[in-house]
A and B are shown apart, each in its own frame.
Chain A
Amino acid sequence: MITREPEYYPPPRNFAGRLGRHLLFFCRELGQGGLLLADAVWNVRYVFTKRARREVVNQMYVAGIKSLGVVTVVAVFTGMILALQTGLALRDYNQEVYIGGAVMVSMLREMGPFMTGLILAACVGSAIAAQLGTMAVSEEIAALEIMSIDPVRFLVMPRLVAMAIMTPLLSFYTCMMGVLGGGIVGATQLGVAWAAYIDNGTRNAEIKDLYVGLLKAFLFGVIITIVACHEGFATEQGAVGVGQSTRRSVIVSFLLILVVGYFVTRLLYVS
């Protein structure tokens, strides 16, 4: 059940108490998030019902198309910065053409999914947390449960599916835009021809880089949705609580994206 008993704990007596409580709460949140994820994945079997299909498409539109503008700008500039930064260092050795490889590999493997994840956590995750949080404090979640409509199936599952599809797509798009941005800087600032830039890029990047990037993006999409839904459902205390949930969902998503991103790279590239 999603609506939980409101909890109350007297304020901790000292620093150790506060620390211990934070630690316990952290473990509990992790466990609850894991359960929510399992529950949502279990409900994916209903994804082809009429309502779920419509909702998934709707959420894909909200998550993907609406953040396209901001994603584009961030991606192009990330590519430009990467190209300029490495290009200036490589110029000392007359090897500017290697910005092609540098930009493409780091966009595919790291920066693409990472930037997409951060943007979606800030735009989409926060919106999900705010929406579900508002629903929780206005008793809409409770109303669903009274009607025996499972909020996980009804609300979480479509968002999860939409984000799990949309984040890798957007991440790939980010990579392309980043490469484009790098190419523009290469051509205009560093004297690297477009063809040489692309050629160098494709020779240095492996197909594995693409796959790892997409895997990361997929994981980030799942993380963002589950964190946002969990924080939304746990909202208490009216409008103030909605603000807190939104903020927490963004912070927790950011941290998890960083940590998970690191470990995926560590696992798949360091042997």
Chain B
Amino acid sequence: MIRFDQVTKVLGGRTVLDRISFEVKKGETFVIVGPSGAGKSVSLKHMVRLLTPDSGDVSVGGASIVNTSRAELEQVRNRFGYLFQGGAMLAWMTVAENIALPLIEKTTLTNDEISDKVAASLAMVGLEKDGEKYPDEISGGMRKRAGLARAIIRDPEIVLYDEPTSGLDPVTSRTIDKLIDELREKLGVTSVVVTHDLHSALSIGSRIAMLFGGKIVELSDPATFVKSEQEDVQGFLEAQYITKAGSWERKQRA
């Protein structure tokens, strides 16, 4: 579905991504973990060409997006939903208006249909009471959930999540995890989740990639990931009190 081929990106004079290759398969939940500043957000941005690689290639659905025209890029982007790290809600619109925006601007739905859809998606992320509030009036975690509602309002094929659970309380985090899982199971959505929350990564990921020092140092399914012999991975696991003997042995996922 999404393919990185030897992608290199230099930002601020530093090689953030160093010849990275991987492929996200259709219908899977691909998780990218790694410490802050490892280039997780940067790799996510490459998938919708908010950034272009200095060298190497990024393709979506078999076609390279690195040099496409504006119209073609728009087609590609329409297949994506993107949850930004801070939610990226427009400050002068209410939460409900923000979520309705892609529908109003890009679809021919009637006002009633739009408000129904918005109400349903607000309920789905547990913000049914907060639709009329402005983004500044709700907490960071709520903004993030609102951003999630906006990202999936047009039923995209692929959803990119930039740290969907960071800054959320554990209970809400698990709700979000469940939501991501549901989208995959019920609608066959392909997801790429960036996180440094390993608990979340291990419970929702079909495969986990660890970015470190501009490279992918480990790429495997959760059960193998916790047993990794890689030093950096082990350090990362230990820092979050995850041991190999945990309950991470679970049924294999597509």
Contact = CB atoms under 8 A, between A and B. Distances in A.
Interface stretch (A75-83, A111-119, A136-144, A161-169): A136-144
Given A8-B11, A135-B90, A149-B106, A142 B50 contact: yes
A147 B90 contact: no
Contacts of A146: 48, 50, 77, 80, 82
Contact of B52 (A5, A8, A149): A5
A206 interface: no
A211 B89 CA distance: 43
A149 B74 CA distance: 10
A238 B85 CA distance: 14
Given A138-B86, A140-B89, A3 B50 contact: yes
Interface string B23-65: 0000000000000000000000100101110000000000000
Interface string A116-158: 0000000000000000001100111011011111000000000
A146 B83 CA distance: 10
B101 interface: yes
A185 B13 CA distance: 62
Nearest to B78: A148
A135 B84 CA distance: 13
A5 B52 CA distance: 8
Interface residues of A, number: 19
Nearest to B54: A5
B149 to A, nearest CB: 13
Chain A CB count within 10 A is highest, among B70, B77, B105, for B105
Contact of A138 (B11, B12, B88, B104): B88
B102 interface: yes
A10 interface: yes
A6 interface: yes
B70 A147 contact: no
Contacts of B104: 51
B74 A148 contact: yes
Contacts of B52: 5
Contact of A139 (B13, B51, B88): B88
Interface string B83-118: 011101111000000000110111000000000000
A89 B150 CA distance: 67
A165 to B, nearest CB: 21
Given A1-B70, A8-B11, A8-B12, A147 B101 contact: yes
12 contacts: A1-B70, A8-B10, A8-B11, A8-B13, A10-B13, A135-B91, A139-B84, A139-B88, A143-B82, A146-B50, A147-B105, A148-B77
Interface of A: 1, 3, 5-6, 8, 10, 51, 134-135, 138-140, 142-143, 145-149
Given A143-B88, A149-B102, 18 more contacts: A1-B70, A3-B50, A6-B12, A134-B91, A135-B90, A139-B88, A140-B89, A140-B90, A142-B84, A143-B82, A143-B84, A147-B101, A148-B74, A148-B77, A148-B78, A148-B106, A149-B105, A149-B106
